[in-house]
Amino acid sequence: MQIISMTQGKIKRDFIAGREVVIKKTSFEEVKKIEEARNILKKHNIYLDNKPFCFHLPKIYDYHNGYMVMEFLHGENLEIALRTENKRKNAVDMVNRIFQYLYNAQIYWGDFAPRNIIIDKNNSRINICDFERGIQHNILNKEYLQNYVYEEYAAFLFPYERKFSEGLNQIFTVETCHSVNYNEIKSNRVKNIIRVLGLPLTNLTNQTVANINKMIVLAETPYKRNDKSIFPIVELEQIKDQSYTNFAQKVCQILKEKGSGYGNIGRIQTF
């Protein structure tokens, strides 16, 4: 397994008593969320490469002083496979199948992302990790897609590769529009884009928030440059870790530069 973490210093590999492990700085809440997800997912199987795969979550060996020691998961990381040309086609199919399966089963995993999925073909297991958000309960499917995972699903797939049953415009159109208080918006990325766009803070709606989340998806959408695949999410995540304001400015810059190639940007920014 190749460990991908956007947060430096949070995860590391080690050997303890001859056992290869991953040590992660986290809260005990995540340990409980992993066990809850384990109980849910152990009942599910999915076909990949024309054979059944089971879902597997890492065994937890210890939790002490804010650090969790867990099983090292073997296999191929799906994000890395998506960024490797000769493995990409198969990885795209797997991401589509897994995302659709979990959605259909109403298993709303808040941390769904290709980097959190490791395919172990030798043991026919889908190893999944990162459960700080856990399985989301009492949440509308659109809210789950808009605020949690569609961005991660789409960030390494070209639009023509996405086979998810819900279309982009459908996902980011709210059912019932209502006012939103700026101070109650949880996402720092959304709040900073609102400020960069100069939107009136007293006239915001849930459709405004959905539109901005759609802007982020479009900004992170991969594209080709000189026959090379470019994944803007990589740069954007690094910028976000340094400054949410710079992230917001970069999102707007990317959309302006790409124009119609990224969709109807003018309409997206009309609130």
Would you give per-residue pLDDT tens digits along the chain (271 residues)?
A: 444 443 455 788 888 888 899 999 999 999 999 999 999 999 999 999 899 999 999 999 999 999 999 999 999 999 999 999 999 999 999 999 999 999 999 999 999 999 999 999 999 999 999 999 999 999 999 999 998 899 999 999 999 999 999 999 999 999 999 999 999 999 999 999 999 999 999 999 999 999 999 999 999 999 998 989 999 999 999 999 999 999 999 999 999 987 744 444 444 444 3
Is there a single domain that holds both residue 111 and residue 190? no
Residue 182: domain span: 175-268
Is there a single domain that holds both residue 122 and residue 225? no
Among 64, 61, 59, 73, smallest CA distance to 28 is for: 64
Is there a single domain that holds both residue 120 and residue 26? yes
Among 49, 150, 160, smallest CA distance to 100 is for: 150
- Provide the domain count of the chain: 2
What pTM did the predictor assign?
A: 0.89
Q: Is residue 145 part of a domain?
A: no
Q: Give the per-residue pLDDT at 195.
A: 96
Task: Say if residues 145 and 99 touch (Cβ distance below 8 Å).
Answer: no
Q: Give the per-residue pLDDT at 198.
A: 94
Q: Which of 98, 128, 158 is the last residue of a domain?
A: 128
Q: Is residue 142 part of a domain?
A: no
Among 219, 209, 206, 201, smallest CA distance to 261 is for: 219
> How many Å apart are CA 219 and CA 232, to the nearest integer?
7
Q: Give the per-residue pLDDT at 267.
A: 43
Distances 95 to 118, 124, 141, 153 between C-alpha atoms, Å: 11, 15, 19, 7
Per-residue pLDDT of 61-98, as tens digits, reads: 999 999 999 999 999 999 999 999 999 999 999 999 99
Q: Is residue 36 part of a domain?
A: yes
Q: Which of 69, 94, 128 is the last residue of a domain?
A: 128
Q: Is residue 38 part of a domain?
A: yes
Q: Which of 95, 128, 161 is the last residue of a domain?
A: 128
Q: Give the per-residue pLDDT at 12.
A: 86
Per-residue pLDDT of 129-151, as tens digits, reads: 999 999 999 999 999 999 889 99
Q: Give the per-residue pLDDT at 264.
A: 41
Task: Say if residues 99 and 153 touch (Cβ distance below 8 Å).
Answer: yes
Beta bridge partners of 228: 225
